[in-house]
Amino acid sequence: ANNCMRELRIRKLCLNICVGESGDRLTRAAKVLEQLTGQQPVFSKARYTVRSFGIRTNEKIAVHCTVRGPKAEEILERGLKVREYDLIKNNFSDTGNFGFGIREHIDVGIKYDPGIRIYGMDFFIVLGRPRYNVAHRRVKQSTVGFSHKV
């Protein structure tokens, strides 16, 4: 008696490349994410100044992209293959989500381009079950029951 409402699914996959500086390296990292996802990535800004790293507040230092649906599953499969499907306990959060990183983006299947160079990236996966949106929707908002949580 499989209950279709209890099946786990990938709600979203967040890909992040943190360069630590704005400029040419960041735009090249954005090209990498665009090649991988086929979507336009978003730039993240620094929250505060860190003198030792040479980072100023509101300086663009990272680029990220959120992928959903079958494309997310396909990219996740390629990322896990790089890690040889081996995750440790610390990769998982209390709420059932998990994340991991890879050292080189060319392992995921993107061709090496000497103009772009090599970047590492972080994968973060948010899992859910059907009707998880009751906690986030605008009308008739409710809480997800304890037994239904991941």
**100-148: pLDDT as tens digits:** 998 888 877 787 878 788 888 899 999 999 988 898 899 999 998 888 8
Q: Which burial class, exposed, middle or buried, applies to 52 when counting CB atoms under 10 A from its CB (0-12, 13-18, 19+)?
A: exposed
Q: What residues form DSSP beta bridges with 100? A: 123
Domains of the chain, each with CATH number or no CATH: 9-148 (3.30.1440.10)
Separation between Cα atoms, residue 89 and residue 140, nearest integer Å: 36
Separation between Cα atoms, residue 86 and residue 90, nearest integer Å: 12
**61-92: pLDDT as tens digits:** 999 999 999 999 999 998 898 888 898 999 99
Specify the pTM: 0.84
Q: Spell out where the chain has E strands.
A: 9-18, 42-45, 60-67, 98-102, 121-128
pLDDT of residue 1: 56
